[in-house]
Amino acid sequence: MSPERDEADTDGIGVSTTRKTFAIIEALEEGEGVTIAQLTQRTELPKSTVYRHLQTLTDLGYVIERDGRYYVGFRFVELGEQARSRKMGYTAAKRAVFELGQETDELAVFIVEEDNEAVYVHRYGSLSNTMIGQRRPLHSMASGKVILAEWDDESVAEYVSDVGLEAVTSNTITDPDALSDELEEIRSRGYAVNDQEHMDGLRGVAVPVYTPGDDFLGGLSVFGPTSRFTDDYVHDDLPPKLNDKAGEIKVTLAYS
């Protein structure tokens, strides 16, 4: 590619062709089989551009076509598994999430931070694979608040400034001072609570997970309906169970 063409394909932030490709991929995620016409509407790209990108993605195996509809291919699953096993601790957390869900009969997740967002790495429960890789605001989740509690005040202030404290529900913490107080409480008691801050009717509890060298790995959490997640259950019963599993991850890594 000539320097002139390379410069023309740059939009000031990145290569515009690459950005168009990923816009199409993300639009494919939104439906069970999408036509070119639908992709053109969703991405606001010319039909010819969408078609060329789809052909390339299909040739590479990242997109499949069936009867005029396009789907995300399983090549992305392979890449996703590589991401989930990028750190040995992520693999160790998978078993802990499964056992935690089995033992508590609750939904269980392991979440890490990437680019100032909470990312689902492992999940136990109904449709457990549907949320893997999805991103959520850190400040609205128990695991996310556990992550924020690991940061110093300057880093938290940068998060508030760069990301903001969006109200996901009416219970989401949106005041920086209230968030600071909450994080101090989490550091003191060793676990975080999500009290309908991410979804109405749901409460969650999370604890931090560390490596044998005491490096922070991510947040381990269980969540469920408010009718079952009473104060006693949330503050007395669940934290010890979560800490036991977090400890097992640490031991597993120490002897791996």
Predicted TM-score (pTM) of this structure: 0.71
- Assess contact for 219 and 205: CB atoms under 8 A: no
32-36, long-range: CB < 8 A, 24+ apart: 32/71, 33/66, 33/69, 33/70, 33/71, 34/69, 34/70, 34/71, 35/68, 35/69, 35/70, 36/68, 36/70
Q: Does residue 88 carry a pLDDT above 60?
A: no
Predicted local confidence at residue 190, as pLDDT: 97
Cα angle: 44, vertex 50, 52; to 5 degrees: 155
**3-state secondary structure at position 130:** coil
pLDDT in tens, 101-142: 999 999 999 999 988 999 888 899 865 556 777 889 999 999
Phi, psi (degrees; rounded to nearest 5) at 118: -85, 130
Comparing CA positions, the residue from 152, 190, 156 lying closest to residue 173 is 156
pLDDT in tens, 204-239: 999 999 999 999 999 999 999 999 999 999 999 999
How sure is the predictor about 80, in pLDDT bands with cuts at 50, 70 and 90?
low
The structural domains of the chain, ordered by start, are 3-73 (1.10.10.10), 79-254 (3.30.450.40)
Q: Which residues pair with 119 in a beta bridge?
A: 112, 135
Comparing CA positions, the residue from 149, 116, 152, 110 lying closest to residue 128 is 110
